[in-house]
A and B are shown apart, each in its own frame.
Chain A
Amino acid sequence: EVQVVESGGGLVQPGGSLKLSCAASGFTFSDSAIHWVRQASGRGLEWVGRIKSKTNTYATAYAASVTGRFTISRDDSKNTAYLQMNSLKTEDTAVYYCSRSTVTTNWACDHWGQGTLVTVSS
């Protein structure tokens, strides 16, 4: 069974840092791209960023709202991706979802975790 599970959320002060993890199982992790998507309470979905596979040079891309502050990485030996969040702002408060995409679905995100809540507040 394909699974992705986020962890690492919590309460952090403005200006602080937090690192989220996305642990994957049930599929060939190294062949997939991993996306992070967030959703503030009562709001819509916001794409945060993506990391491609090793075959695609681990290329990353980010939303303008997080560029320069957030970094996505992955460790294929651990089947895990990460979202390092620095210089956090109150507007970064949201549920953060990890999802995978593969060539099978033209790189659309076909499996999602249940999300981890990040709260940025003093």
Chain B
Amino acid sequence: EIVLTQSPGTLSLSLGERATLSCRASQRISRTYLAWYQQKPGQAPRLLIYGASSRAIGIPDRFSGSGSGTDFTLTISRLETEDFAVYYCQQYDGPPFTFGPGTKVDIK
């Protein structure tokens, strides 16, 4: 099973700041099969990024993904109020399709 580690656990930032979230895999995965999701309290997850760097439909361009191999990054260029949430990475290179433990982005 591929284990995903996300850092930091919590990121405290102000509106307008840049957020950089990390996802590290225990073994190499194809960038084709790495996704990022956003989840707000009481809501279902929402797909932000698939294929490591492709934005899902309707996702603002302040969200971007990068990385390959075992190290992947989600960047939010300038935080807006609605971006404060928990972010999960997921690999679906091969089952089981594991999620990382999440990074909470909260208001400083």
State the A residues within 8 Å of B (CB): 35, 37, 44-47, 50, 61-64, 97, 99, 101, 105-110, 112-115
Residues of B within 8 A of A (CB): 1, 32-33, 35, 37, 39, 43-47, 50-51, 54, 56-57, 88, 90, 92, 95-102
Number of A-B contacts (CB under 8 A): 72
Residues of B within 8 A of A44 (CB): 88, 99-102
Say whether chain B's binding surface is mostly helix, strand, loop, or mixed. Answer: loop
Asked if B50 and A112 make an inter-chain contact with CB atoms under 8 angstroms apart, the answer reads no
The majority secondary structure among interface residues of chain A is: strand
Contacts of A64 in B (CB 8 A): 1, 96
Q: Looking across the interface, which residue of chain A has its beta carbon closest to that of B1? A: A64
Q: How far is the CB of B51 from chain A (nearest CB, A)?
A: 5
Alpha-carbon separation in the docked complex, A45 to B97 (Å):
11
Interchain CB contact under 8 A, B47 and A35 = no
**How many whole Å from B93's CB to the nearest CB in chain A?**
10
